[in-house]
Each structure stands twice: as C-alpha cells, then as structure tokens.
Amino acid sequence: MDVRSTRSKSSSRSPRFYWLAWLFVIACFLPPTIALYLGQHPWFSLIIMAAPLFALASVFGLMSEVWDISPTFVARREARYQNRHARDAYTIPVQFETVKALLPGLSRLRVIRTDLNQEIGAWSLKMIHSRT
C-alpha cells in the first residue's frame, strides 16, 4: 500500500502557519545552535548572527500577516487551502489568487468577491465577513 494514498490531502493547518512556525524556529533556535561552532567567542558570534536573522524573520512574518506577502510556493498553497475552506469560513463568496509582489520570489494573496467580481481587502474579509 502506498503511503501517499493513505495520507489526507486536506491539511488541518494553513500553509502560512507552517511558514510562520519555520520563521520562528530559524530566528530563535538556529543562531544559538550554530554559534557554538563559530570560534572562540560564541556569544559575540551569537549576537552578530541572531540580530540579522531575527530582524529578517520578523520582517517576513509581518509581511505575511499584515500584507499577505510570502514566498511564491507558500502563497500558492495558501490560495489553494483558502479556496478549499472559503465557503465554510466566510459569509460571502470569495476566491483567492496569487499576484506577484514587488520583490522577486514573493507573491501576495488577492481576494476576489465572486458575486460582485471585485477585489476585497484581506483584513475586511477577516474582520467583517468571517463566520468565526
């Protein structure tokens, strides 16, 4: 029996959740792990490496949460996930798409209200039209 056939195609968590979890792991646990192997001054190496990694992970996390900007592979999976659950999660009919962002390799989620065929903001969708 193939392992892939027994696995559920529907994930219980959003791909964005896993993206943010990996950012947290990279920002918090990677610098102390690597700093021990970087020379005679591990605390100095830790500070030099931890500050930029934490800042970069924070910027990517904020971009993902506030503006729905994430790497293209995460945004495409997030759009598929949101489209699968849109009918149950929102009071209006919506469809999620990905649009290229300004930075290469990053994409943004765009929400289209299908009954009016117009774009709607992600925050207004979450705050006004959410069933939860």
**What does residue 46 show for φ and ψ, rounded to 5 degrees?**
-60, -45
The pLDDT profile of the chain, 132 residues, written as one tens digit per residue, is 444 444 445 558 899 999 999 999 988 888 888 777 777 777 777 788 788 888 999 999 999 998 999 999 999 999 999 999 999 999 999 999 999 998 999 999 999 999 999 999 888 898 999 987
Do 59 and 77 have their domain in common? Answer: no
Place of tokens 């969708």: 125
SS3 label, residue 26: helix
Do 77 and 122 have their domain in common? Answer: yes
What is the domain count for the chain? 2
Do 56 and 83 have their domain in common? Answer: no
Vertex 123: Cα angle to 117 and 132 (nearest 5): 95
Judge contact between 89 and 128, C-beta under 8 A.
no
* pTM strictly above 0.75: yes
Do 62 and 20 have their domain in common? Answer: yes
Do 97 and 121 have their domain in common? Answer: yes
Do 80 and 120 have their domain in common? Answer: yes
Q: Is residue 85 part of a domain?
A: yes
Boundaries of domain holding 45: 14-66
Place of tokens 């999976």: 77
Q: Is residue 96 part of a domain?
A: yes
Kindly report the number of other CB atoms within 10 A of residue 120's CB atom. Answer: 17
